[in-house]
Structure 1
Amino acid sequence: MTDEQGRQIDSTKLRVAVNRTERNYVIQANDILEVRVNTNRGERILDPNGELQFGQPTGSTPARSTTRPASRNIGQGAGAATAGSEFLVQADGTVTLPQVGRIKLSGLSLLQADSVLAGRFSEYYIQPFVTTRVNNNRVIVLGVSGGQVIPLANDNMNLLEVLALAGGIDGAAGGGGGPNRNGGRADNIRIIRGDLKNPRVQQVDLSTLNGMRRANLQVEPNDVIYIEPIRRPLIDALNEASPLVSVASLLLTTGYLLINLFRQ
């Protein structure tokens, strides 16, 4: 690939740069935001009256987050983080926070939200330091595993990690009914992204190194990952007929016992 001046462009680096740009998550309605607020660029907020959800009452120990294990806090002075609190993004894209009230955050990246909130909290605190994260990001895995919702522990999870959490391509941990006997096709995994009315679909081939190199393996929140099952018509037909065979066998056995009983 060359640019307008005829210089060679590294398509791999370009693809990585585009993927990183697309991964900047934008806050949406129904997201659950964890908000941490500190003063003086990192000091813990002391809240003597215990009125702030993310404030720290004087003399008490840090509260733990309700969804994720809290990190260990060292020290009680500058640099110690407050406990995070969770707030729901409403359908209109707004979030109601202590002190600042209702503020619109939908459509912003997490970095932009940090900046906006820091500006609002600067009316009440000196040099506020705000961090936000989304606690309910997840992807959906369908196909061999039946159906699973996999939470995203961090923003850099890739397709291989998600498949491992779902039990692998064979779906060994999926669907509550054990592994799929037919297994899944490693050469036909589809990532469905965006609006489901007009989605973007990417086909991923994990059966070869070439296919892995060409694919974008980075997953994004709300992705739907479909693993196509391997079709084996004879085995599928036998599996579908097995209930009928069982019933017929039961009837024949019962009939045989009744005939023997009457003969005696």
Structure 2
Amino acid sequence: MLLALEEAKSNYTLQENDYIEVEVYTNEGELIIDPNNEIRRELNSGGNNQQLRQQEKPQFLIREGGLVKLPLVGDIALAGLTLNEADSLLEREYSAYYEDAFVITRYNNKRVIVLGSMGGQVIPLQNENTHLIEILALAGGVGNQSRVDKIRLIRGDLNDPEVRIINLATIEGMKNASLKVLPNDIIYVEPVQRITSEAVRDISPILGLITSTLTLILLVNRFSE
């Protein structure tokens, strides 16, 4: 249990090589959009012109050593902080430039993978409180082709993963399913097995052989008369 708690804590703190988005608002709730072109200048000076063209919002890399370079405030250490802790720290830093600044920080590279009847999908995690049911909804929802009573949540080292079987077909299962997903979780939704069609497919070669044999017997009997 302690190991699981430590793993969850490390997965949901900012780490080296994470990409983040940072939005700064005024105390009246207005988004400060590239004030004085500071963000554009920061990106241009870093040789990220293509990144600026490709993205609506600039993203920032937490470099080796845990530092990230942000507009106006420059290098600041964020590694090891949760999103809430990073927001509080950046609000203090940006309040030197804007009165009562309000900051929202988001992950850009935390994600889970959904496999099985829902296809292969990569779902980004933008906050620390995303639950399994939310992920299934973001992936398009479970339909008639999916078994909701045997959803597998695979977590940890794939050489020795932790596998949880989740049942969304009952109220009790729904209660147990209200759990957080963690970055790099794999969710496998088992497809419904169509017994009739699969049975026909499996015995088709045998039926073909029987039909061919009967046809041969009939032809032999006809010619022998």
Matched-pair contact (CA < 8 Å) for 2:67–2:77: yes
- Distance (whole Å) between structure 2 residues aligned to residue 107 and residue 204 of structure 1: 31
Which sits farther off after the overlay, 208-217 or 152-161?
152-161
2:171 to 178, 203, 209: 209
Give the letter aligned to residue 15 of structure 2.
Q
**What is the aligned partner in structure 1 of residue 90 from structure 2?**
117
Describe the SS at the equivalent of 1:99: coil
Instruction: Check if 1:139 corresponds to 2:109.
Output: no
Which sits farther off after the overlay, 193-202 or 46-55?
46-55
> Structure 1 residue 140: deviation in Å?
1.1
**What is the aligned partner in structure 2 of residue 26 from structure 1?**
13
Give the letter aligned to residue 103 of structure 1.
I
Matched-pair contact (CA < 8 Å) for 1:193–1:199: yes
Instruction: Check if 1:129 corresponds to 2:91.
Output: no
**What is the aligned partner in structure 1 of residue 22 from structure 2?**
35
> Structure 1 residue 214: deviation in Å?
3.1
Matched-pair contact (CA < 8 Å) for 1:37–1:128: yes
> Structure 1 residue 28: deviation in Å?
3.4
1:188 to 114, 136, 150: 150
The one-character-per-residue Cα deviations of 1:163-208 (angstroms, maximum 9, x if unpaired) are 23434434x7xxxxxxxxxx33222111223454554432201122
**What is the aligned partner in structure 2 of residue 51 from structure 1?**
38
- Distance (whole Å) between structure 1 residues aligned to residue 58 and residue 122 of structure 2: 24
Describe the SS at the equivalent of 1:28: coil
- Distance (whole Å) between structure 1 residues aligned to residue 200 and residue 64 of structure 2: 49
> Structure 1 residue 50: deviation in Å?
2.5
More helix by share: 2
> Structure 1 residue 226: deviation in Å?
0.8
Instruction: Check if 1:102 corresponds to 2:64.
Output: no
> Structure 1 residue 224: deviation in Å?
1.4
| 1:3-18 correspondence runs (5 A) | none
Name the Cα RMSD after superposition: 4.3
Give the letter aligned to residue 225 of structure 1.
I
How high is the TM-score relative to the length of structure 1?
A: 0.52
Matched-pair contact (CA < 8 Å) for 1:54–1:85: no
**What is the aligned partner in structure 1 of residue 189 from structure 2?**
227
Give the letter aligned to residue 202 of structure 1.
R
The one-character-per-residue Cα deviations of 1:120-151 (angstroms, maximum 9, x if unpaired) are 44555555433312245432111123311234
- Distance (whole Å) between structure 1 residues aligned to residue 198 and residue 36 of structure 2: 66
Give the letter aligned to residue 145 of structure 1.
M
State the number of aligned residues: 188
Matched-pair contact (CA < 8 Å) for 1:189–1:227: yes
Describe the SS at the equivalent of 1:187: strand
Give the letter aligned to residue 82 of structure 2.
S
Unaligned runs of 5+ in 2: 43-53, 206-225
Describe the SS at the equivalent of 2:84: helix
**What is the aligned partner in structure 2 of residue 162 from structure 1?**
135
Which sits farther off after the overlay, 198-207 or 87-96?
87-96
Q: Could you say if the C-alpha distance between residues 41 and 91 of structure 1 is closer, same or farther in structure 2, counting changes exceeding 3 Å?
A: farther
Q: Could you say if the C-alpha distance between residues 51 and 39 of structure 1 is closer, same or farther in structure 2, counting changes exceeding 3 Å?
A: same
Give the letter aligned to residue 184 of structure 2.
N
- Distance (whole Å) between structure 1 residues aligned to residue 170 and residue 35 of structure 2: 61
- Distance (whole Å) between structure 1 residues aligned to residue 167 and residue 129 of structure 2: 20
Describe the SS at the equivalent of 2:38: coil
Matched-pair contact (CA < 8 Å) for 2:13–2:79: yes
